[in-house]
Chains A and B, each alone.
Chain A
Amino acid sequence: MSRHRTTFTVNGQTQCVEIEARRTLAETLRENCGLTGTHVGCEHGVCGACTVLVDDAPMRSCLIFGVQVDGAAIRTIEGLAAADGTLNALQQAFQDHHGLQCGFCTPGFLMLATWMLERPQKITEASLREVMSSNLCRCTGYQGILDAVRAAARRLGRWDDAGAISTPA
């Protein structure tokens, strides 16, 4: 099967890869770029563990082919912390609120929440549950994840209290 030269950036670094047309973006990131922080949980677009940001929009990297992101700017979990490893506000909130157990789904939730924190609309209780219900976690029962995103949003001034339906203590 023929290979295609594809160029894009990941976390600001240019990547130039030769890939088969059928290779997914998730495989491209993991196998060709060596970025194994993006996890593949189902390969059919349901679990969301492989969520990355493509030109700042969350996408399931198992559902798009590597060749489709030619020219795009990709962001993955490896780009969240500072160069010295210091966790960013969202990552730190996940640790503080026990938003992860086994950590396998965590990359997808972090990238989805990153998108929510960066978009113009502030986060409300309703939008939080709606958007976060895109992804599956099997360990936490979700509460730690939601608590973490709430805390990070408050800290970053991205929480809309007016939209709050219920806020657990």
Chain B
Amino acid sequence: MNWVGRSLRRFEDPALLRGEGRFTADTTSGALVVRFLRSPIANGRIVSLRPPAEMPPGAVFVSATEMAGTATIKPMLHRFAYRAVEQPVLPGDRVHFVGQAIAAIAAATAELAEDLVEAIEVEYEVEPAVVGLDAALLPDAAPVHGAAPGNVAVEGVLRSPDCETVFAAAPHVVELAILSRRQNATPMEARAGCAQYDRATGRIRLTASVQMPHMLRTGIAELLGMAESDLQVVAPDVGGGFGQKMALFPEYAVLVWLARRHRGAFAWIEDRNENLIASAHSRDQRHVLRGAFDADGTLLGLEAEILANVGAFSAYPTTCGVEPLMAFAEYPGPYKVQAYSARARGVLTHTCPMAPYRGVSRPVITFGLERLMDQAAKAIGIDPVAIRRRNLVDSFPYQTATGLTLDDASYVETLDDAVALLDIPAFRARQAAARTEGRFIGLGLAVFNERTGYGTPAFAARGMGIVPGYEVVDIAMTPGGEIELRIGASPHGQGLRTTLAQIVADRLGVSPDVIRVIHGDTDRTPYGWGSFASRATVISGGACRTAADKLAVRLRAAAATVLQAKAEEITLRDGQAVAASGSSVALAALAKQVHQRSDLFDDFNLAETAAYDPGGTFSNACHAAIVEVDAETGLVRIERYLVVEDAGRIINPLIADGQVRGGVAQGIANALFEEIVYAEDGNILTGTLADYTPPTCAEIPTIEIHHRETISPATLTGAKGLGEGGSIGAPAAIANAISDALAPFGIEITEIPATPPRIRALIRAAEAAR
């Protein structure tokens, strides 16, 4: 029985469907409720800060004064001219963005805590805020932090020696400036934490909605100067993360500090407004891209000038380099181009700090590169499909200009599949007919690759002070015959309990339902880095596979004793160890014997540990969108959305398709709907979901998914990661489709989200220019 490749129903689902899941907010019984005072100004001095004049018994006030001695959050990069910016857990003298936590109140009820926060006496001296990229980069701009004069916190520069020559000689040079506005990852469960002091042991358990529980434990212990062993971090059911829940946030350190100091339980359940303004933002990048092309459309050279507005601080542990440096390293994508020059800068402003969000910089670079391909095709007078086919990497392994190795993939094949499915000639006829009726439909393509499943080498190359990447899995068979997998990865909706069970079931010849995956608890799992960067199935899955194989060796040895056979002649299948002679023993019976009659065996241990730290692989996909743009209103309707994706071996097709669809929906949101808007003074104008407008099922179309499975030798299971891919291709495909639809106006979409007002402005400008 092969379990890998089957759409096994998720083990996670029944409890969640009965309302019996356990999210952080469900674990706060008996805890004091914590609410934060947040800065209403973007930049300025805290002149005075005093607790409410009247504090009811039992209520607690905490600010920088009470927390004196706490270290600052200071993630490091040792490359790329990184300027280390220090973030106080609670600021004593200055605030740096609207929403920054300044102080907290803990009280018996949420209502009381909120009343008391309003009664905190605080006075600010407002100073001018630096909000946008242009303002931050002015020669006389005031520095957001003294440590980073000029407001550039990180800068990567790569000059390919032949780039200038290539551009000077190229028949066609196409230049493009793109802008991807600021987003918030918006998990449906906002951040949440509950720190509980255990008087019997003196330990603290922090239950929190996070993606990296082990890293959070290390980080908080360092900030507070406490023994790491005295802190347990538990990530229970986590209501989505998408990157936002990776960072070490000050609020969690405050909760642990409160629990320690006051020997009690303290819970903070973030509200949506806090999440939108003060958790972490993403995107907000502006690129200028130049492509040098031969007369036949061959891409000869690429130049990228990358600016990322990284906000007021640097997220721990990824640092504010994560966005600009990823764009820098991966811009050439799936295309053959060796002459590549780039400069990427992370720019500090008085805005909410940035953290990685699904796809990180790849949705932006794919938007840039795929817009460049379409514009170049137009300039040269060739077909958008032809220009891509001409330039896509088609023999592997391929060494990129930035030193990455592209492993086996299907860049050309996924494009060809999509083209065949779309029937482009028929579409062009329909498009022409529609235009005669004053209707504007368009088709857009996006081909991209996505670096997934990368271990420590990739992070070390960035010069990160903290280098994540490996995963460890402990496996054990209980005396009852169940298999327990303890993993360092930390799922938050991906269905990893099911997927990993499928991988292990095949290696041990058991049914997945005897496998229990234990995760999200630093007391019960080996140190690991959590779930992010499309890594868990590849890295934790690879470690699970190795761990299972090591356990299989032990089971065969034990069975050899029972069956009086040679270990190498024993196979594990259908929950049995079967000898060549046909005699067999149930694994459950074997496990009981090994544990309870160890005197009969050479070894009594049915536990193993395995680690995996791969170099990484590349998934790929071609996305295609057909849209109709209402020229009167600027509204975009998606008529068809198609994905041809290749993430190597698919462990569970049901779950894989769900990841792709969810990603595409977020990519569509990026392309058309969502934007965090700051006013000039640094206040946020989009503090509710009614302003931020995540799309509903009325806006997200049915998404067709087609698969290819290029089995990569770069991973143990043959699987490549696919958690982020959906969100990477959609902005480019949609922007290309809108530009194609509005070609009669000569409109090129270079700014997303392409909201109705923006599209109407482009149409008005085009009509005025006629």
Once A95-B17, A103-B12 are accepted as A-B contacts, the answer to whether A140 and B662 lie under 8 Å apart by CB is yes
Interface residues on A, range: 35 or more
Q: Is A22 an interface residue (CB 8 A)?
A: yes
Among A1, A81, A139, A142, the residue within 8 A (CB) of B696 is A142
A166 — nearest CB in chain B belongs to which residue? Answer: B702
List, in ascending order, chain B residues with CB within 8 A of A40's CB. 25, 269
**Bound Cα distance A20, B271 (Å):** 20
**Bound Cα distance A144, B23 (Å):** 22
Q: Is A51 an interface residue (CB 8 A)?
A: no
Determine whether the beta carbon of A140 is less than 8 Å from that of B18: no
A128 — nearest CB in chain B belongs to which residue? Answer: B697
Stretch at the interface among A53-61, A104-112, A116-124, A155-163: A104-112
**Bound Cα distance A143, B690 (Å):** 22
Determine whether the beta carbon of B111 is less than 8 Å from that of A103: no
Determine whether the beta carbon of B658 is less than 8 Å from that of A101: yes
Within B646-690, the residues touching A (CB, 8 Å) are 654-655, 657-658, 661-666, 688-690
Determine whether the beta carbon of B689 is less than 8 Å from that of A130: no
Determine whether the beta carbon of B700 is less than 8 Å from that of A142: yes
Q: Is A146 an interface residue (CB 8 A)?
A: yes
Determine whether the beta carbon of B655 is less than 8 Å from that of A136: no
Among B12, B18, B110, B658, the residue within 8 A (CB) of A144 is B658
Q: Is A74 an interface residue (CB 8 A)?
A: no
Q: Is B57 an interface residue (CB 8 A)?
A: no
B687 — nearest CB in chain A belongs to which residue? Answer: A44
Q: Is A25 an interface residue (CB 8 A)?
A: no
Stretch at the interface among B119-127, B168-176, B182-190, B479-487: B182-190
Among B17, B25, B664, B690, the residue within 8 A (CB) of A141 is B664
**Bound Cα distance A1, B367 (Å):** 54
Q: Is B694 an interface residue (CB 8 A)?
A: yes
List, in ascending order, chain A residues with CB within 8 A of B13's CB. 94-95, 100, 103
List, in ascending order, chain B residues with CB within 8 A of A80's CB. 17-19
Within A7-40, the residues touching B (CB, 8 Å) are 20, 22-23, 27, 30, 35-40
List, in ascending order, chain B residues with CB within 8 A of A135's CB. 696
Q: Is A64 an interface residue (CB 8 A)?
A: no
**Bound Cα distance A147, B694 (Å):** 21
List, in ascending order, chain B residues with CB within 8 A of A68's CB. none
**Bound Cα distance A5, B399 (Å):** 71
Binary contact readout B10-22 vs A (1 if CB under 8 angstroms, 0 otherwise): 1011101111110
List, in ascending order, chain A residues with CB within 8 A of B699's CB. 133
Determine whether the beta carbon of A104 is less than 8 Å from that of B688: no
Determine whether the beta carbon of A81 is less than 8 Å from that of B17: yes
Q: Is A153 an interface residue (CB 8 A)?
A: no
Among A27, A41, A95, A146, the residue within 8 A (CB) of B188 is A41
**Bound Cα distance A47, B17 (Å):** 18
**Bound Cα distance A46, B686 (Å):** 13
Q: Is B272 an interface residue (CB 8 A)?
A: yes
List, in ascending order, chain B residues with CB within 8 A of A110's CB. 17
Q: Is B242 an interface residue (CB 8 A)?
A: yes
Among B14, B658, B694, the residue within 8 A (CB) of A140 is B658
Determine whether the beta carbon of A139 is less than 8 Å from that of B18: no
Q: Is A114 an interface residue (CB 8 A)?
A: no
Q: Is A49 an interface residue (CB 8 A)?
A: yes
Q: Is B238 an interface residue (CB 8 A)?
A: yes
Determine whether the beta carbon of B697 is less than 8 Å from that of A146: yes
A102 — nearest CB in chain B belongs to which residue? Answer: B493
Among A103, A132, A141, A145, the residue within 8 A (CB) of B16 is A103
B625 CB → nearest A CB, Å? 14
Once A95-B10, A138-B242 are accepted as A-B contacts, the answer to whether A103 and B237 lie under 8 Å apart by CB is yes
Which B residues have a C-beta under 8 Å from some C-beta of A?
A: 9-10, 12-14, 16-21, 23, 25-26, 110-111, 186-190, 237-240, 242, 269, 271-273, 492-495, 654-655, 657-658, 661-666, 688-690, 694, 696-700, 702-703, 726
Complex A-B, nearest 3 residue pairs according to Cβ-Cβ distance, in ascending order:
A37-B19, A102-B493, A104-B239
Could you list 8 examples of A-B contacts with CB < 8 Å?
Answer: A40-B269, A41-B272, A76-B19, A91-B17, A98-B654, A104-B23, A105-B239, A139-B493
Using A41-B272, A77-B17, A140-B658 as known contacts, list a sample of 10 further A-B pairs with CB atoms less than 8 Å apart, ordered by residue number in A: A44-B688, A46-B688, A47-B689, A98-B655, A100-B17, A102-B238, A104-B187, A104-B237, A129-B697, A141-B664
